Structure 1
Amino acid sequence: MSNSSRYIDIHCPYKPLVVGRVPAMTADEAGSAVLSAERAQKLWAAVPLHERAGLLYAWADELQRMADEIAEFIMLEVGKSRAAALAEIERSADLVRHTAEEGRRLGGELIRGDAYPGSKPGKTALIDKVPLGVVLAISPFNYPVNLSVSKVAPALITGNTVVLKPPTQGSISALLAARALHRAGCPPGVLNVVTGRGADIGDVLTSHTSVRCISFTGGTATGRAICRKANMIPVILELGGKDPAIVLEDADLQLAAREIVSGAFSYSGQRCTAIKRVLVAEPVAEPLIELLRCGIERLRVGSPEEQADITPLIDTQAADKVSNLIREALDEGARLIIGNRRDGNLIYPTLLDGVTERMRVAWEEPFGPVLPVIRVRDEEEAIRWANASEFGLQASIFTRDVQSALAIAKRLEVGSVQLNRRTERGPDHFPFLGIKSSGLGVQGIRRSIETMVRDKVTVLQE
């Protein structure tokens, strides 16, 4: 609740409906949430590890019990199909359980001093893993539960407390996930959820001296701003992407087309790991484009309540951006294969051929259902195109030649490379990272846990 008596209406992106209201908390209230987390942290860190793990197991069970309720709000708030929303909750419950298991295996180490020349005999370093303190978790609209849970669970298992700033559009879903944690028995102050506009409370949260770690998923510009404001603390950033699908001459084109359509248009392209451009060898460009067109034609367009594949984008601003990128590319000579229809915030899946370096759609992240095709002479040109991007999240390579794929993968400036598969996050215990403007730090259950602790060294002398 907020003492300001101000609230934010959450509007459904695909029909005229106010889904609900969340408090528009003030800067003072955001600061109070951080202090609440700070007061609770030492008590929480003193809770035995097996009991912290037990809370996470109970949270996972409660998430599944509340799955229908939470899925309904995910659908209404962010426009996902009910099936996709339920899958997000199931994935989140699995992630919480695996985090509990992995966290119980986190241990310290002993280092003998006599392993180093000139060290005095009998010295031993006891290295423990201790929590950082208060973790600020900032999650995005496209996975309001999963990308909240993936930050909160590693923090809690390691003895940290959390201030969660969920997305405004998606706040209700995240609040319900937090309710599940409290129903599971979470002590007061261990998780604090702050809702409101980032412009009102963002600076207070990211620059607060009691915050000891920030985990953020969102836009690159915001991520850079957070880095500038953070007080010399660990910052984990999951930012934008412009993931290429490189299709070589010997690729299985049926497989490539199927994976590319799925990777580009799942959740209407509103994923940082969506395939956002195709770099295809010229000799196979025409057959691949025809397969892509046929695949796109089969996508269902409409309401998430009808289990459509392509649903309205999150808001009018997002739809305007995608429409402008398409229009500019067509004005500059790109060829429309399919799509370029709009109905409110609903953008029909669009495939463009003949995209060149001067077009914005070749470089900017659209976060919507538009896929540019760029024809290349050979793998060298494909690598040049891929690495010229400011982003470096993921890439896909489609070829039957594994050795060639591995050689190309080594040269791509990205965090992960998928071979003959679409770009995507997961499984959630795999390391997940981006380089360049795509992020900072490494996530994935084990890596996230390791980020939430620091070494504490005690030197023993026999």
Structure 2
Amino acid sequence: MNTNNYDKEQSHKDESRQSIQIRSPLDDSVIGEVLALSKEDVNSAIQLAKETFATWRNVPLNERAEVLYKAANLLLEEADRLTVLLMMEVGKDKKSAHSEITRTADFIRFTADTAKSIHGESIQGDTFSGFNKEKFAVVTREPVGVVLAISPFNYPINLATSKIAPALVAGNTVVFKPATTGSLCGIELVKVFEAAGLPKGVLNIVTGRGSEIGDYVVTHPDINFINFTGSTEVGSGISEKAHMVPLLMELGGKDAAIVLKDADLAFAAKNIIAGAFSYSGQRCTAVKRILVVNEVADRLIAYLKEEIQKLEVGNPLEKQVDVVPLISTKAADYVWDLIEDAKAKGAKLIYGGTREGNLIFPTLFDYVTTDMRVAWEEPFGPVLPILRVNNADEAVDLANQSEYGLQSSVFTENLSDAFHIASRLEVGTVQVNNKTERGPDHFPFLGVKKSGIGTQGIRYSIEAMTRVKATVINLSH
């Protein structure tokens, strides 16, 4: 289903079709509704994408890039309106919401720039033993076909675009399934691309309940590639069902901040608190545990407590805040269970540990042990456990025991130690003297173990959603 004149088109659909109300996590008000599409609707969208692929793949690269440049400009023109929508739909503070829009516009522009720089190559036959100059290969890249882009609630514009823009510029068509909470933002994003001149059927949005159309869309025989960001549980299910379909997945994390005895503790504490609690920790790259050498643990905690007390907590509609209500009661209940489990098993509460509805105050625990759920589970909320270790080796071993492997931070003044630890950590990215975070967007971004499949980042995403073709030229016959 294409969303050009989305609302108008839907009014002509079967009046009996169900819709889903979208409620704001900030005040539980109904801010809009989206259609709960059927399998037949989804099939129509996929078929349209398949049909359109035949023409879109042949549009010259410079013309595809021009659509992206226009989309970036239009996105900025709509920044104020979309900022408000982001705040209302997913509960972001105003600063973070506006930043998501501007960062996404930059991403789109750089995607267009990068696509122009990805050229083919030629390989001479005489570079390999037994062959000669009369044989060489021309290596080109081709789009894979219909890309299924599945985005999460927490960055409904940016993480959707990180899938859509590289797919489109490479010549693919896209079927876009946003998270239910985030669908209103997703619809607006598609409208931006269409207003920029994207032909009908190239980008198709399907909204609805994952329980009803999720399995159908990921197992559809005309889907050629799946690009997914979300939970490890859902990602694992997709990988089991999507037989022989290439995958690019960003899944869960339990990102550790390792603090060694020679670290700048004040600096480390400032970064860790920012990394753990912005947007209430509802980020896959949030700092989710601290592994600190015992020798400096008490001093670090003093700095952490000082920084956590600076956080603003509340409703972002009323003031600029760091910690906002969680996306749903279910999410808040889950985080609260982790907090209660830590308390019951003897963790020392340093700060927080209180709740008002879906708003959980930033919570810091010391003396967390490995029998506590919060030591291992991803909270996606504002709770941060401290696990004390005796040395760097113990920190690395404990970090690597996690089923996740997205990112880790290492805080130390010794660059040699930092590189040594980085080489041993089983993660996609190691941040030295910085919080765990995504970006810059042209850097590689990946997870290992249960944190993901494949490598993202603008160039890497374009390459993932294209296939190599070798044409071998034989000059003698």
Question: 2: distance between equivalents of 1:186 and 1:16?
Answer: 35
* Aligned pair partner of 1:276 in 272, 276, 288: 288
1:10 maps to 2:13: no
SS in structure 2 of the partner of residue 275 of structure 1: coil
Q: Name the counterpart of 1:242.
A: 254
State the alpha-carbon separation in 2 of the partners of residues 400 and 322 from structure 1: 34
Q: What is the CA–CA distance in structure 2 between the aligned matches of 1:434 and 1:47, rounded to whole Å?
A: 34
Map of 1:312 onto structure 2: 325
Would you say the 8 A contact 2:124–2:133 is kept in 1? no
91, 94, 97: which is aligned to 1:82? 94
Q: Which residue of 1 aligns with 2:306?
A: 294
Deviates more, 1:221-230 or 1:142-151: 221-230
Are the aligned partners of 1:155 and 1:162 in contact in 2 as well (CA < 8 Å)? yes
SS of 1:351's equivalent in the other structure is strand
Distance 2:275 2:132 in 1: 58
Decide which of 435, 454, 460 is 1:422's aligned counterpart: 435
Q: Structure 2: any 5+ residue segments left out of the alignment?
A: 1-9
Q: Retained in 1: the 8 A contact 2:259–2:291?
A: yes
Counting only pairs closer than 5 Å after superposition, residues 66-81 of structure 1 correspond to structure 2 as 66-81=78-93
Matched to 1:210, the amino acid is D
Structure 1 equivalent of residue 6 of structure 2: none
- Structure 1 distance, partners of 2:321, 2:23, is 20
What CA distance in whole angstroms lies between the structure 2 residues aligned with 1:320 and 1:233?
35
Partner of 1:174: 186
| 1:111 partnered with 2:123 | yes
Number of the residue aligned with 1:52: 64
- Runs of 4+ displaced beyond 4 Å: none
1:359 corresponds to 2:372 = yes
- State the alpha-carbon separation in 2 of the partners of residues 94 and 291 from structure 1: 35
Matched, 1:186 2:181: no
Q: Distance in 2 between matches of 1:5 and 1:293?
A: 52
User: What TM-score do the two structures reach when normalised by structure 2?
Assistant: 0.96
1:233 match: 245
- The one-letter code of the counterpart of 2:111 is T
Render the CA deviation track for 1:238-283: whole Å, top value 9, x for unaligned: 0000000000111101100000000000100000000000001111
Q: Which of 463, 468, 471 is 1:450 aligned to?
A: 463
Q: Does 1:219 align with 2:231?
A: yes
In structure 2, the residue matched to 1:123 is 135
Q: Residue 38 of structure 1 is aligned with which of 35, 50, 58? A: 50
Contact 1:276–1:371 at 8 Å: present in 2 too? yes
- CA deviation digits over 1:159-201, x for unaligned, max 9? 0000000110011011111111111111010000111111111
In the TM superposition, residue 118 of structure 1 has moved relative to its aligned partner by: 2.6
Q: Contact 2:90/2:153 (CA < 8 Å) preserved in 1?
A: yes
- Cα deviations by residue, 1:269-322 (Å, 9 ceiling, x for unpaired): 000000000001111111111111111111111001112111100000100010
Residue 338 (structure 1) aligns with: 351
Q: Distance in 1 between matches of 2:250 and 2:337?
A: 25
Counterparts of 1:61 and 1:120, CA distance in 2: 51
Post-superposition Cα deviations, 1:319-371, rounded to whole Å, max 9, x if no partner, equal 00100001011100001011011011000000000100110100000000000
Contact 1:70 1:177 in 2 (8 A): no
User: 1:209 and 2:221 equivalent?
Assistant: yes
- 2:413 equivalent in structure 1: 400
278, 285, 296: which one aligns with 2:297? 285
User: Offset of 1:230 from its aligned partner?
Assistant: 1.2
User: CA offset at residue 106 of structure 1?
Assistant: 1.3
What residue ranges of structure 1 are gaps of 5+ in the alignment?
A: none
Q: Which amino acid aligns with 1:452?
A: M
**Quick one: distance in 1 between partners of 2:28 and 2:161?**
29
Q: Deviations 1:111-162 (Å, cap 9, x if unpaired)?
A: 1222222336511211110000000000000000000000000001110000
Aligned residues: percent identity?
53
CA contact (8 A) 1:238 1:433 kept: yes
Q: Distance in 2 between matches of 1:213 and 1:14?
A: 35
- SS at 1:211 equivalent: coil
Distance in 1 between residues matched to 2:95 and 2:183, nearest whole Å: 20
The answer to whether the 8 Å contact 1:267/1:309 transfers is yes
The TM-score, its normalising length taken from structure 1, stands at: 0.99
Of 26, 32, 37, the match for 1:25:
37
| 1:110 CA displacement | 1.1
Distance in 2 of aligned mates of 1:42 and 1:128: 18
- Alignment-derived partner of residue 7 in structure 2: none
Give the distance between the partners of 1:323 and 1:314, measured in 2 at CA: 14
SS at structure 1 position matched to 2:288:
strand
Q: Distance in 2 between matches of 1:245 and 1:16?
A: 35
Letter in 2 for 1:403: S
Q: Distance in 2 between matches of 1:157 and 1:139?
A: 18
Q: In 1, distance between residues paired with 2:386 and 2:127?
A: 57
1:159 corresponds to 2:205: no
Aligned residues of 1:209 and 1:231 also touching (Cα < 8 A): no
Question: 1:149 matched to which residue of 2?
Answer: 161
Deviations 1:397-418 (A, max 9, x none): 0011111111011000000000
Q: Give the distance between the partners of 1:112 and 1:25, measured in 2 at CA.
A: 52
Residue 258 of structure 1 aligns with an amino acid whose one-letter code is: K
